[in-house]
Amino acid sequence: MRLKDKVTLITGAGSGIGRSSALLFAKEGAIVAVNDLDAAKAEETVGLIREEGGQAFAVRADVTDPAEAEEMVGLVKENKGRIDVLFNNAGISGVGRLHEIEPDAWERVMNVNIRGVYLPSKYVLPIMMEQRGGSIIHMSSCIAEIGLAQRASYAATKGAVLALAKSMQVDYAPYNIRVNAILPGTILTPFVENYLKTSYDDPEAAIASLKRRQLSGELGRPEDVAKAALFLASDESAFMMGSPLYIDGGVVFG
């Protein structure tokens, strides 16, 4: 078991990649704190983990709210005594060319995708510093490295969290804390399905066009990203520090 008894907190784990990671981490022996804004979705993930004999509990919180983020981290520490892994996975989409994005919509994407990484990290770091160890994973995206139409606000946030991972790594390496980032390509999750439905008249044609961008010819699955997160969470990636890990079917280099 690659995460035996490791206490892991995954944000946005009520759906998609976060849920898939929570299930895989639990299979590998982790005790998983399942965060989501939506309590019912978090409980559903916990139910799925328990059905398979894994250990998990739900911690509902809005990761953009300082009081809720602090309380969430405090609850995990209080319950389990430590936090070994933080996977900052929660995120939302943002669509539009820059001049078309209203300030409120811009702020929403910045809030969830950057502030929602900053706050859980801020409250987890002192715990990991005291433990003198931990692994933090930020969810970036291949969009941090390649230009895509209509994705200005979203791309800006994903570039920011990649930079954040590198900068944090320098500050916290002396405490044996690793901070890495995952850069997925297009992964078929509710997040992408919603984006396709709301942004294209013909979502099937949009999927076909996305597939053509991949060297693999296929879109990714949540499990593909969960496996990468497991690797970064575990000691198997001990020599990875401040690194971007691409899980993108070759879209960045294709």
The reply to whether 90 sits near ligand NAD by the rule CB under 6 A is: yes
**Backbone φ, ψ for residue 199 (5° rounding):** -105, -15
DSSP three-state, residue 246: strand
67-92 exposure pattern, b = at least 16 Cβ within 10 A, e = fewer: ebbebbbebbbeebebbbbbbbbbbb
First to last CA, the chain: 35
Interface of this chain with ligand NAD, residues 59 to 88, rule: CB under 6 A: 62-64
The span from the CA of 17 to the CA of 15, in Å, is: 7
Residue placing its CB nearer to ligand NAD in the complex, 106 or 191 = 191
The reply to whether 16 sits near ligand NAD by the rule CB under 6 A is: yes
Angle (nearest 5°) at CA 15 between 63 and 55: 85
Instruction: Give me the least distance between CB of 211 and ligand NAD, in Å please.
Output: 13
Instruction: Give me the least distance between CB of 101 and ligand NAD, in Å please.
Output: 17
Closest CA to 69 of 27, 109, 111, 116: 116
The reply to whether 41 sits near ligand NAD by the rule CB under 6 A is: yes
Decide if 246 is catalytic: no
The reply to whether 184 sits near ligand NAD by the rule CB under 6 A is: yes
Residue placing its CB nearer to ligand NAD in the complex, 38 or 202 = 38
Residues at the site binding ligand NAD, with contacts judged by CB under 6 A: 11-12, 14-18, 35-38, 41, 62-64, 89-92, 112, 116, 139, 141, 184, 186-187, 189-192
Known catalytic residues? 154
